[in-house]
Amino acid sequence: MSLSKPLSTQRIIPHLWYDKEARQAADFYASVFPHSRVEHVTTLSGTPSGDVDIVAFEVWGQKFQAISAGPLFKFNPSISFIVNFDPLFFGQAEAAKAEARKKLDEVWGKLAAGGKTLMPLDKYPFSEWYGWIEDKYGVTWQLMLTDPAGEPRPPIVPSLMFTGANCGRAKEAIEFWTSAFRDSRQGMTVPYGPGQAPNREGTVMFADFTLEKQWFAAMDSALEHGFAFNEAISLVVQCDSQEEIDQYWGRLSAVPDAEQCGWIKDRFGVSWQIVPRIMDDMLRKGTPEQLDCLTQAFLPMKKFDVAALQLAYEGALAS
CATH number reported for the structural domain that contains residue 103 in this entry: 3.30.720.110
Under-70 pLDDT residues of the chain? 1-8, 92-93, 316-319
Q: State whether 126 and 167 are in the same domain.
A: yes
| Those residues with Cβ within 8 angstroms of residue 285's Cβ, 6 or more apart along the chain or in another chain | none
Q: State whether 190 and 246 are in the same domain.
A: no
Q: State whether 270 and 204 are in the same domain.
A: no
pLDDT at 85: 94
pLDDT at 56: 97
Handedness of CA 190, 196, 200, 205 (dihedral sign): negative
Q: State whether 181 and 278 are in the same domain.
A: no
Q: State whether 212 and 258 are in the same domain.
A: no
* Residue 109 counted as domain residue: yes
pLDDT in tens, 221-256: 999 999 999 999 999 999 999 999 999 999 999 999
* Residue 250 counted as domain residue: yes
Q: State whether 212 and 256 are in the same domain.
A: no
Q: State whether 202 and 270 are in the same domain.
A: no
Q: Count structural domains, the chain.
A: 2
* Residue 193 counted as domain residue: yes
Whether residue 198 has a cis bond before it, omega within 30° of 0? yes
* Residue 162 counted as domain residue: yes
pLDDT in tens, 127-163: 999 999 999 999 999 999 998 777 788 999 999 999 9
* Residue 43 counted as domain residue: no
Domain final residue pick, 160, 189, 220 = 220
Sequential DSSP letters for 62-74: EEEEEEE--TT--
User: CA-CA distance, 234 to 236, in Å (whole number)?
Assistant: 7
Q: State whether 199 and 245 are in the same domain.
A: no
Length of the chain: 319
Q: State whether 198 and 95 are in the same domain.
A: yes
pLDDT at 95: 83
pTM: 0.94
* Residue 232 counted as domain residue: no
Which range marks the domain in which residue 172 is found? 71-220
The CATH number covering residue 275 comes to 3.10.180.10
Q: State whether 163 and 216 are in the same domain.
A: yes
What is the SS3 assignment for 52?
strand
Domain final residue pick, 220, 251, 285 = 220
pLDDT at 316: 60
